[in-house]
Amino acid sequence: MSIQIGDTLPKADLNYLQDGVKTLSTEDLCKDSKVLLFAVPGAFTPTCSARHLPSYVEKMDEFRQRGVKVACMAVNDAFVMSAWGKQSEAPADLYMLADGNAEFTKALGLELDASGFGMGLRCKRFALYAENGVVKQLWVEAPGEFKVSAADYVLSNIG
């Protein structure tokens, strides 16, 4: 079963690149914070690179004004996520997080079998809004869709 509104985010460690690979726990990310976590099936993939990540890069000021931290996650490694963030001109406060072994993705119940595309286990495309680690809103895309996890849609649905 996948995570639901009202649930607490599972404890997990995600990785990012900053003077080497660092670990960020979901507890530390969410502590005393409003967090918008969006996930993509893969860095550098067409929709993710052309539309999904850019929608958040473009709207970061609006998230900042609302006091919301923004994090992008994929089942990739920290090196790939860092390179993708740089190529996409993601600001430093847009966390580019790697769930390399899909442990957090599985704990959320939002895994995607992309074996048919040679990509193995990945994460479904989604956006999740949490306050102090408690899920307040959750938008999971239908297969092949990009609507409800876009930055504009999310901004119009969070207070």
Residues carrying an active site annotation: 48
Chain centroid to CA 38: 3
Beta-bridge partners for 113: 121
Residues near 84 by beta carbon (within 8 Å), at least 6 away in sequence: 43, 44, 49, 53, 76, 90, 96
- Cβ atoms 25, 11 nearer than 8 A: yes
Question: ∠ CA 10-27-119 to the nearest 5 degrees?
Answer: 55
H-type alpha helices, 88-150: 103-108
136 token code pair: 């307040």
Burial class (CB in 10 A: 0-12, 13-18, 19+), 130: buried
